[in-house]
Chain A
Amino acid sequence: MAELLKKGQMKPGAVAEAGSMARLNTGTWRTYCPVSDLEKCNHCMICWLMCPESAVQVEDGKKVGTNLQYCKGCGICATECPVDAIEMKLESEMSEDEKKG
């Protein structure tokens, strides 16, 4: 781990380098894990819009999954999904294979 800056070496006012939040893996906070049924998904992007962590992954205008490194498991996506394509599962009872987002 890099040595911590001293007070005099820090910029005042909580200014840090750009993108510093990318190193904070909020996915470790999760209790429930979203599991998306991509067959059922109509790619309306409401989950992408609502996700407070921008964790919904999209390629070529289609949802492809959830980035579990950042997903906190809040369940907003599952609540908002108009076609019930997302299920929140208790992560402690899931196998590693099931955790695909």
Chain B
Amino acid sequence: MAERMALTGNDSAAYAFKQINPDVVAAYPITPQTELMHKFAAYVADGEVKTEFVPVESEHSAMSAVIAASLAGARACTATSANGLALMWEMLYIAASCRCPIVMPVINRALSAPINIHCDHSDTMGARDTGWIQLYSENCQEAYDNALQAVRIAEHPDVMLPVMVCLDGFILSHTLEGLEANDDETVRNFIGEYERSDNLLDVERPQTFGAFALQNYYFEFKKQQADAMQEAPAVIDEVGKEYGELTGRSYGRLDPYRCDDADVIVVGLGSSMGTAKQAVDDLRDEAGLKCGVLKIRCFRPFPGDLIRQALQNAAIVGVMDRAVSFGLGGPLFHEIRSARYGGDGPMLNFIYGLGGRDLSLDLAKDVFRNLAEAKDSGQVEPVVRYVGLRE
């Protein structure tokens, strides 16, 4: 039986881990992720999971340990935030290219300097080229649901890639929310067993893992990795559908909200899309503005075709970036604009929420008002705009 629970984002990911019962978890504390592993370590200490918990001396070591565990045939998980993710950098690429289906919640937090513990997406946006699948969560329910689905997506034989389950620091990680948790048996049956035919512990059939490959082989390995990413969308959709049949909560790669008749559409990731949905409801009532929200759940692999379709009837599109690529603008904006090249109406880019700066309902409405103004005036410069910034 599913159970209604009050959990924070960190609790919800820790509870998902408890139900996944990974063979190995290696982790290092960093705000705002710390509480997730506190909670999980308590499950380990209380004997509620059979996990080998490895408290390591850095995030680089955490990722190294779960890569080795995964290559040995273990279901392996970790979690981190911001600077911790940055310290894993080298190993993130190795996890993906050694085809380790590791599941890692990343509690999104701003990168230093100045030091800041609050939410933005600079950490995971920076990791967008590491070869990891990235799922973003709007609320604690989605963080929990995404963590469970991530296991199936990562371990699918056509995929075999690691998955980051992104959830906004503090806004989700430390906020209590009522959510529905599945019973243990449902989760057990849903995720199944992890089997890795080539593994480090198969002493009868010893092999080299993470081998040396020069000009003659490296390219083919990378193409295999790119192919696996191309297989991922079908798997993500299939797993999202199956999860829906089990729980009543199905998931796609995009989540459009009141987009069907919308002239003005805002696109973005994470918890702020909940605020934007409220802004849509209010502005439709208050101002008769035909607006909608296109929330992107799966950012890697990038669902360019789906996004293009979803935006084809919009008169103007606003892309909300909680990260800035210095010298470029917002990364999400640029990927969406590329996906729509040759198409379909003007677009603006909104950079917002860096270092945890709140996106208030008023600011969310400003974004829509900005777009409506630009639509009417035809004036789209500057394309990159900053929301809630003191000039």
Q: Which residues of A come within 8 Å of B, CB atoms?
A: 4-7, 10-21, 24
Check A10 against B207 for contact (C-beta < 8 Å): no
Interface code B80-118, partner A: CB below 8 Å = 1, 0 otherwise? Answer: 000000000000000001111000000000000000000
Q: Complex: how many Å from CA A16 to CA B221?
A: 12
Partner of B212, one of A6, A13, A20: A20
- Residue of chain B at shortest CB distance from A13: B99
Contacts of B225 in A (CB 8 A): 12
A61 to chain B, nearest CB (A): 27
Chain B residues near A15 (CB-CB < 8 A):
198, 207-209, 211
Residues B221 and A18 in contact, CB atoms below 8 Å apart: no
Write the B196-226 contact mask toward A (1 if CB under 8 angstroms, else 0).
0010000000111111110011001101110
Say yes or no: B216 contacts A4, CB within 8 Å: yes
Contact B223 A18 (CB under 8 A): no
Indicate whether A20 sits within 8 Å of B221 (C-beta atoms), given known contacts A11-B198, A14-B98.
Answer: no
Question: A12-B160, A24-B212 are contacts. A7–B224 as well, Cβ < 8 Å?
Answer: yes
Q: Contact between A14 and B206 (Cβ–Cβ < 8 Å)? A: no
**Which residues of B are at the interface with A, using a C-beta cutoff of 8 A?**
97-100, 160, 198, 206-213, 216-217, 220-221, 223-225, 228
14 contacts between A and B (CB under 8 A): A7-B224, A12-B224, A13-B97, A13-B99, A13-B198, A13-B221, A15-B208, A16-B211, A17-B208, A18-B206, A18-B208, A20-B208, A20-B211, A21-B208
Set A5, A12, A19, A24: member contacting B99, Cβ < 8 A: A12
Cα(A60)–Cα(B221), bound, Å:
42
Residues from chain A with Cβ under 8 Å of B208 in the complex: 15-21
Shortest CB–CB separation between residue A72 and chain B, in angstroms? 14
- A6–B160 contact, CB under 8 A? no
Contacts of A6 in B (CB 8 A): 220
Collect the chain A residues with CB atoms within 8 Å of residue B211's CB: 14-16, 20-21
Report the separation of the CA atoms of residues A11 and B221 in the bound assembly, to the nearest whole angstrom: 9
B160 touches A16 (CB 8 A): no
Whole-angstrom CA separation of A6 from B224 in the bound complex: 11
Q: Are A10 and B212 in contact (CB under 8 A)?
A: no
C-alpha spacing A70/B212, complex, angstroms: 15
Cβ contact within 8 Å between B160 and A13: yes
Cα A16 to Cα B205 with chains together (Å): 11
Contacts of B220 in A (CB 8 A): 5-7, 10
Residues in B neighbouring A14, C-beta threshold 8 A: 97-98, 209-211, 213, 221
**Closest residue of A by beta carbon distance from B220:** A7
CB distance from B74 to the nearest CB of A (A): 15
Q: In the complex, which residue of chain B has the Cβ closest to the Cβ of A1?
A: B216
The minimal Cβ–Cβ distance linking A52 to chain B, given in whole angstroms, is: 14
B160 proximity list for chain A (CB < 8 A): 12-13
Give the docked Cα–Cα distance between A13 and B157 (Å).
12
Determine how close the nearest CB of chain A comes to the CB of B84; give it in whole angstroms. 25
Q: Which residues of B contact A11 (CB under 8 A)?
A: 198
Q: Is B198 a contact of A7 with CB atoms below 8 Å? A: no
On whether A21 and B228 interact (CB within 8 A), knowing A6-B220, A13-B97, A16-B207, the answer reads: no
Tell me the complex Cα distance, A21–B207, Å.
11
Task: List chain A residues, Cβ under 8 A from B100.
Answer: 13
Measured between C-beta atoms, what is the minimum distance from B354 to chain A in Å? 36
Q: How far is the CA of A6 from the CA of B220 in the complex (A)?
A: 8
A10 to B224, Cβ gap below 8 A? Answer: yes
CA distance A5 to B217 in the complex (A): 8
- Report how far A37 CA is from B270 CA in the complex, Å: 65
- The complex places the Cα of A14 from the Cα of B313 at a distance, in Å, of 45
* A4 touching B98, Cβ below 8 Å: no
A17 to B217, CA, bound (A): 14
- In the complex, what residue of chain B is closest to A20 when comparing beta carbons? B208
Q: How far is the CA of A4 from the CA of B217 in the complex (A)?
A: 8
B381 smallest CB distance to A (angstroms):
46
Chain B residues within 8 Å of A20, by CB: 208, 211-212
